[in-house]
């Protein structure tokens, strides 16, 4: 029989009767197989056992995890001072006994910061869409907190090795504290981390033991208690609304099944754990800025996962992004090992390496790695409420999660404290090596020629700047690597401390480990799913569809460093024009212009064809025409104001005469009517698709959208709307959700002149029923070899399966979907003759995720205005299985079919994916605004 000895402080339980701290320690002795428990209390100071309380049998299920929730936090040898208020004292309930709402969490930290200003400082860094403040706190010794501005400034010096000598760096490394940043509950329904942040703050401030003093003597602890207050609030309010007389542990109960959309995402339903590449959300933007003021050496992103799963911490699963450096992986190993040591002490299960890879750079647990820090995700099994009955029957409590995260945080802080000089040294060395690699490798500069899409270039360079990358805009023409570039081109020299981030964000493809890919191919050959956790490509130039060159020499040209302004003021030439104004179509500035102009009630026309004006300038198809005759006397002022806000380049013209292409009175020039846009918004919509589809219209264009629940569609009068957007679905189909009456209503909406836009797999809805709205079909997987015969008898003719490969083929059902594609950047070709593609270049890039392949429309039915490139050119970035590449090639990406007086427009892949494939956004905007202009309702 083996005896496991667990020693832990449980002061909270002990101090309650007397209302003050007793220097006592409780020992739990587990006699494993017999489940016999011995409890003893020991006076810490004298070392004497005071009493042996209990010898009792207990069930296997009753272990430390079943400690009453009041017992959080629990940590050995802690000695809590009464001078620091507990959660219970401030919020009125013991920590772990209730899921705190964002306002309560904020209240607790504000009171700690107000009561102990010498040891904890609260710093606001952003505001959520719903107006909730985001903030972090920093906890440290009095000395460090008083020197905080200096410390942060010194970290910034260390982060910029080009400005200091090695000697200065050594000095800084000697004197600077280590730092850990613990970020919590980015997914708002992953509830325990936010609560653990209060446990940690309380413990660090209240514990008077030498061990905590030792940690804080050389380590600063940054805590971001709640990264997603809007999502968390959504979870908490709806969770408590479902609770009855007693909490249910049953996973079937309403308590454990959130209504749509769940609390994972923020207000615009973004998964912010994918947003660190493109910084689309205010929460992410604020965080990235704060991190670059602090440069924490260790960053923990604390999450929850499925309730049956235990606890996960580093090291991460394969594949690793090759831009992560060897000593970073070494540190991940140290941190994991020390977490494991503490988890062993407490008897907590954990696992490492099997899932949660470190390849995609847009996770919270990734981004700091490309700045030289160590970053990791921790994942606790989620009780998703107060109690959760696991598959093995054990009850997991909310407090269990709070306690385990807390222990992981303490272990992490201990590692950072123990390894402080090494971590500081590694950070400095990383940044220094990065500059060296950027000044000696094959890619020493990236150059964006910036010949079109000025708004896209402005936005991308601003985002790179927010990432801490220096981007310069050339003031004059120059040559590099044999190419000539005009003034206004953007240059990024790679000799920067962010070299690895630059390469990760700008290269077409970040290579995945060959052995890992070979393993995935083996799994597929064995009919097993792949282990790729997220998309395999995220190259920003590809996603923005902006050409970029790389050069093996640094570029030297007179230039101006760009700012982080994503929209620059536009301009009007010839403001007092006699006829009116033209705005060239083709970028988001023009799209913002038209959005604002229509909302101001201006009459705007748009040409379906390119034209050349008398002034000699060529304008692309889609260009806007605003005439004085059509509009009011204030037009010049309105143009000035709209150009400033939107960034559009407006040209005043004295005459309407064109020398090539249609005149403005042509039937090829359409009036853009201000559309009322509706969007389906509830089950079965994929919240991510619904959120980004709405976000792009509302926040990139500043144009309102009405969200409608699919259940309303059966009897709804849609005549008020001109455009209806149907997001991709995640669970269930629209056919089921809408039923025959809902689908009939949609058909009549289109026939009367509405524009129906489907995103991703919502296209399936158009193909169903007796009178489908789109004459395409979705394809099954291409079968190799002989198709299996459908036999109905229980005995069949004999067959010979010759090879293991044939055997695996045999197992695949005849009507199987193509294999799932984790996500690559696919090149697509644009039919530039069509009104739907106005202003769009001849080639665009789309993210391709999933397994949908649709047949092209015949010319009798409609047009395939964008189709995927031939197989040899299809792959623009990332990785795709060869069979899928062959099958996707030349298939439609965007289809349009006239139905009655209206238009049906299908995007077979999500054009708004994470709102970061900016090169696709103009097609989506064309579908809405130009689609509405090309429908023919009775007006
Ligand atoms: Zn999560």
Q: For 141, list phi and psi in degrees, rounded to 5.
A: -65, 160
Between 808 and 684, name the one with better pLDDT: 684
CA of 126 to the centre of ligand 1 (A): 20
pLDDT of residue 804: 87
What's the whole-number mean pLDDT along residues 637-663? 98
CA of 305 to the centre of ligand 1 (A): 7
CA of 253 to the centre of ligand 1 (A): 22
Q: Does residue 59 carry a pLDDT above 80?
A: no
CA of 366 to the centre of ligand 1 (A): 13
What's the whole-number mean pLDDT along residues 678-707? 98
CA of 884 to the centre of ligand 1 (A): 30
Q: Does residue 69 carry a pLDDT above 50?
A: no
Q: Does residue 56 carry a pLDDT above 90?
A: no
CA of 379 to the centre of ligand 1 (A): 7
- pTM for this model (two decimals): 0.91
Q: Computed over its alpha carbons, how large is the radius of gyration of the chain?
A: 30
Q: Mark residue 394 as left, alpha or beta (left: phi above 0; alpha: psi -120 to 50; beta: remaining).
A: beta
pLDDT of residue 320: 87
pLDDT of residue 715: 86
CA of 462 to the centre of ligand 1 (A): 28
CA of 930 to the centre of ligand 1 (A): 39
- 769 — pLDDT class (breaks 50, 70, 90): confident
CB contact set of 291 (below 8 Å; sequence gap of 6+): 181, 299, 367, 368, 371
Give the SS3 label for residue 903.
strand
Q: Does residue 24 carry a pLDDT above 60?
A: no
CA of 311 to the centre of ligand 1 (A): 13
CA of 378 to the centre of ligand 1 (A): 9
CA of 182 to the centre of ligand 1 (A): 14
Q: Does residue 648 carry a pLDDT above 50?
A: yes
Q: How far is CA 115 from CA 112, 121, 495, 782, in A?
A: 5, 10, 46, 68
Beta strand pairing status for 133-139 and 219-224? antiparallel
Q: How far is CA 450 from CA 453, 474, 489, 593, 651, in A?
A: 7, 11, 5, 21, 20
CA of 340 to the centre of ligand 1 (A): 21
Beta carbons of 890 and 779 less than 8 angstroms apart: no
The pLDDT tens digits of the residues spanning 821-830 come to 999 999 999 9
Q: Does residue 12 carry a pLDDT above 80?
A: no
pLDDT of residue 287: 98
CA of 457 to the centre of ligand 1 (A): 32
pLDDT of residue 770: 82
117-121, 214-218, 292-296, 353-357: range with lowest mean pLDDT:
353-357
- 789 — pLDDT class (breaks 50, 70, 90): low
* Burial bucket for residue 437 (CB in 10 Å: 0-12, 13-18, 19+): middle
- 927 — pLDDT class (breaks 50, 70, 90): very high
What's the whole-number mean pLDDT along residues 2-19? 32
Beta carbons of 192 and 402 less than 8 angstroms apart: yes
Q: DSSP per residue over 237-285, as a string?
A: HHHHHH--SS----TTSGGGSPPSS-TTS-TT---GGGTTTT--SHHHH
| Average pLDDT of the chain to the nearest whole number | 91
CA of 191 to the centre of ligand 1 (A): 10
CA of 405 to the centre of ligand 1 (A): 13
pLDDT of residue 62: 34
In whole angstroms, what is the distance from residue 72 CA to residue 399 CA?
7
pLDDT of residue 788: 60
CA of 384 to the centre of ligand 1 (A): 12
CA of 177 to the centre of ligand 1 (A): 29
CA of 190 to the centre of ligand 1 (A): 6
Q: What percent of the chain has a predicted confidence (pLDDT) above 70? A: 92
Short-list 209, 214, 212, 193, CA closest to 100: 193
CA of 135 to the centre of ligand 1 (A): 19
Q: Does residue 394 carry a pLDDT above 60?
A: yes
Beta strand pairing status for 604-607 and 669-672? antiparallel
What's the whole-number mean pLDDT along residues 707-726? 95
pLDDT of residue 273: 97
Q: Does residue 55 carry a pLDDT above 60?
A: no
What's the whole-number mean pLDDT along residues 833-843? 98
Beta carbons of 221 and 203 less than 8 angstroms apart: no
CA of 353 to the centre of ligand 1 (A): 17
CA of 84 to the centre of ligand 1 (A): 31
Beta strand pairing status for 445-448 and 549-551? antiparallel
Q: What percent of the chain has a predicted confidence (pLDDT) above 90? A: 86
* Total length of the chain: 939
In whole angstroms, what is the distance from residue 431 CA to residue 158 CA?
8
CA of 187 to the centre of ligand 1 (A): 5
pLDDT of residue 2: 33
Reading the block at residue 389, the tokens are 């009955």
CA of 121 to the centre of ligand 1 (A): 27
CA of 91 to the centre of ligand 1 (A): 26
CB contact set of 192 (below 8 Å; sequence gap of 6+): 304, 380, 382, 383, 398, 400, 401, 402, 404, 405
CA of 186 to the centre of ligand 1 (A): 6
pLDDT of residue 65: 38
CA of 185 to the centre of ligand 1 (A): 7
CA of 304 to the centre of ligand 1 (A): 5
Q: DSSP per residue over 451-520, as a string?
A: -S-HHHHHHHHHHHHHTT---EEESS-EEETTEEE-TT-EEEES-STTHHHHHHHHSS-PPPPHHHHHHH
pLDDT of residue 791: 63
pLDDT of residue 790: 60
Q: Does residue 809 carry a pLDDT above 50?
A: yes
The pLDDT tens digits of the residues spanning 585-639 come to 999 999 999 999 999 999 999 999 999 999 999 999 999 999 999 999 999 999 9
Give the SS3 label for residue 571.
strand
CA of 906 to the centre of ligand 1 (A): 32
What's the whole-number mean pLDDT along residues 798-816? 87
CA of 271 to the centre of ligand 1 (A): 9
CA of 51 to the centre of ligand 1 (A): 44
Between 918 and 43, name the one with better pLDDT: 918
Write b or e for each residue in 81-92: b if 16 or more Cβ atoms lie within 10 A of its Cβ, otherwise e: eeebbbbeebbe
What's the whole-number mean pLDDT along residues 464-470? 98
Dihedral Cα 747, 749, 753, 755, nearest 10 deg: -90
CA of 435 to the centre of ligand 1 (A): 33
CA of 403 to the centre of ligand 1 (A): 18
CB contact set of 591 (below 8 Å; sequence gap of 6+): 700, 701, 921, 922, 925, 929
Strand order in the sheet with 604-607: 571-573, 649-653, 580-583, 624-627, 604-607, 669-672
- 771 — pLDDT class (breaks 50, 70, 90): confident
CA of 625 to the centre of ligand 1 (A): 48
CA of 933 to the centre of ligand 1 (A): 42
CA of 203 to the centre of ligand 1 (A): 24
CA of 303 to the centre of ligand 1 (A): 4
Q: Does residue 319 carry a pLDDT above 60?
A: yes
CA of 570 to the centre of ligand 1 (A): 40
CA of 747 to the centre of ligand 1 (A): 39
CA of 341 to the centre of ligand 1 (A): 24
What's the whole-number mean pLDDT along residues 758-775? 93
* Burial bucket for residue 588 (CB in 10 Å: 0-12, 13-18, 19+): buried
CA of 380 to the centre of ligand 1 (A): 9
pLDDT of residue 786: 59
CA of 708 to the centre of ligand 1 (A): 28
CA of 377 to the centre of ligand 1 (A): 9
CA of 692 to the centre of ligand 1 (A): 19
CA of 269 to the centre of ligand 1 (A): 14
């Amino acid at each position: 029989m083996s005896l496991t000895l667990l020693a832990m402080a449980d002061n909270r339980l002990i101090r309650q009767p007397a209302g003050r701290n007793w220097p006592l320690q409780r020992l739990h002795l587990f006699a494993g197989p017999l489940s016999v428990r011995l409890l003893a209390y020991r006076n810490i100071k004298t070392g004497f056992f005071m009493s042996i309380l209990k010898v009792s049998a207990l069930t296997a299920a009753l272990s430390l995890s079943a400690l009453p929730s009041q017992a959080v936090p629990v940590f050995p040898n802690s000695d809590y001072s009464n001078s620091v208020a507990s959660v219970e004292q401030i919020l009125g309930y013991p920590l772990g006994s209730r899921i705190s709402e964002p306002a309560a969490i904020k209240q607790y930290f504000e009171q700690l910061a107000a009561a102990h200003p010498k040891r904890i400082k609260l710093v606001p860094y952003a505001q959520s869409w719903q107006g909730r403040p985001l903030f972090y706190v920093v906890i440290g010794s009095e000395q460090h907190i008083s020197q905080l501005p200096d410390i942060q400034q010194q970290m910034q010096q260390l982060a910029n090795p080009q400005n200091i000598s090695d000697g200065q760096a050594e000095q800084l490394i000697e004197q600077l504290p280590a730092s850990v940043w613990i970020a919590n509950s980015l997914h708002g329904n992953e509830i325990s981390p936010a609560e653990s942040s209060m446990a940690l703050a309380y413990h660090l401030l209240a514990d008077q033991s030498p061990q905590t003093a030792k940690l804080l003597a050389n380590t600063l602890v940054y805590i971001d208690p709640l990264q997603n207050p809007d999502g968390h609030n959504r979870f908490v309010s709806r969770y408590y609304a479902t609770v009855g007389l007693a909490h249910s542990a049953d996973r079937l109960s309403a308590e454990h099944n959130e209504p749509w959309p769940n609390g994972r995402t923020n207000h615009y339903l973004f998964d912010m754990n994918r947003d660190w590449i493109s910084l689309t959300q205010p929460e992410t933007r604020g965080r990235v800025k704060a991190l670059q003021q602090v440069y924490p050496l260790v960053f923990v992103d604390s999450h929850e996962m499925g309730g049956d799963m235990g606890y996960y911490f580093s090291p991460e699963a394969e594949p690793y992004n090759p831009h992560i450096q060897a000593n970073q992986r070494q540190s991940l190993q140290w941190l994991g090992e020390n977490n494991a040591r503490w988890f062993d002490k407490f008897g907590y299960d954990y696992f490492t390496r099997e899932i949660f890879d470190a390849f995609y750079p847009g996770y919270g647990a990734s981004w700091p790695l490309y700045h030289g820090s160590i970053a990791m995700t921790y994942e606790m099994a989620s009780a998703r409420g107060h109690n959760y009955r696991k598959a093995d029957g054990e009850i997991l409590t909310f407090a269990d999660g709070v306690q385990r995260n807390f222990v992981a945080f303490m272990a992490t802080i201990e590692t950072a404290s123990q390894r402080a000089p090494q971590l500081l040294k590694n950070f400095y060395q990383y940044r220094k090596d990065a500059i060296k690699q950027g000044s000696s490798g094959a890619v020493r500069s990236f150059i964006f020629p910036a010949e079109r899409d000025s708004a896209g270039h402005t936005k991308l360079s601003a985002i790179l700047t927010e990432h801490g990358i220096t981007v310069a805009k050339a003031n004059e023409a120059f040559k590099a690597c044999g190419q000539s570039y005009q003034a206004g081109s953007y240059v990024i020299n790679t000799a920067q401390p962010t070299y690895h981030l630059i390469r990760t964000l700008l290269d077409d493809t970040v290579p995945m480990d060959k052995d890992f890919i070979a393993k995935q191919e083996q799994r597929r050959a064995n009919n097993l799913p792949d282990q790729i956790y997220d998309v395999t490509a995220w190259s920003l130039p590809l996603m923005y569809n902006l050409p970029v060159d790389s050069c093996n020499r640094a570029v030297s040209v007179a230039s101006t460093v760009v700012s982080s302004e994503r929209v620059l003021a536009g301009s009007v030439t010839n403001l007092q024009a006699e006829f009116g104004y033209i705005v060239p179509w083709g970028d988001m500035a023009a799209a913002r212009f038209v959005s604002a102009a229509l909302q101001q009630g201006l009459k705007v026309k748009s040409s379906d064809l390119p034209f050349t004006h008398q002034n000699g300038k060529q304008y692309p198809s889609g260009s806007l025409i605003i005439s004085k005759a059509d509009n009011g006397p204030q037009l010049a002022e309105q143009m000035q104001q709209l150009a400033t806000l939107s960034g559009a380049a407006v040209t005043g013209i004295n005459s309407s005469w064109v020398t090539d292409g249609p005149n403005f009175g042509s039937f090829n020039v359409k009036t853009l009517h201000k559309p009322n846009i509706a969007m389906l918004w509830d089950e079965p919509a994929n919240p991510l698709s619904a959120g980004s589809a709405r976000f792009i219209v509302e926040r990139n264009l500043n144009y309102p959208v009405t969200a409608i629940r699919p259940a309303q569609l059966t009897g709804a009068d849609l005549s008020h709307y001109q455009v209806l957007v149907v997001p991709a679905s995640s669970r269930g189909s629209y056919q089921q959700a809408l039923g025959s009456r809902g689908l009939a209503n949609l058909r009549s909406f289109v026939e009367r002149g509405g524009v129906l836009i489907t995103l991703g797999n919502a296209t399936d809805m158009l193909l169903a029923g007796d009178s489908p709205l789109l004459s395409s079909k979705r394809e099954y997987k291409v079968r190799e070899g002989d198709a299996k015969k459908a036999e109905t008898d229980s005995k069949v003719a004999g067959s010979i399966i010759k090879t293991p490969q044939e055997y695996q083929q045999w197992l695949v059902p005849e009507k199987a979907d193509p294999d799932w594609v984790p996500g690559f950047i696919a090149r697509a070709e644009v039919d530039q003759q069509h009104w739907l593609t106005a202003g769009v270049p001849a080639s665009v890039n789309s993210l391709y995720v999933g397994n949908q392949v649709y047949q092209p429309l015949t010319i009798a039915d409609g047009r395939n205005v964008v189709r995927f490139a031939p197989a040899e050119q299809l792959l623009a970035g990332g990785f795709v299985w060869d069979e899928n590449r062959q099958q996707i090639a030349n298939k439609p990406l965007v289809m349009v079919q006239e139905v009655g007086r209206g238009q049906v427009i299908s995007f077979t892949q999500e054009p708004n994916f994470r709102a970061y494939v900016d090169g696709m956004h103009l097609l989506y905007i064309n579908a809405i605004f130009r689609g509405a202009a090309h429908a023919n309702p009775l007006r």
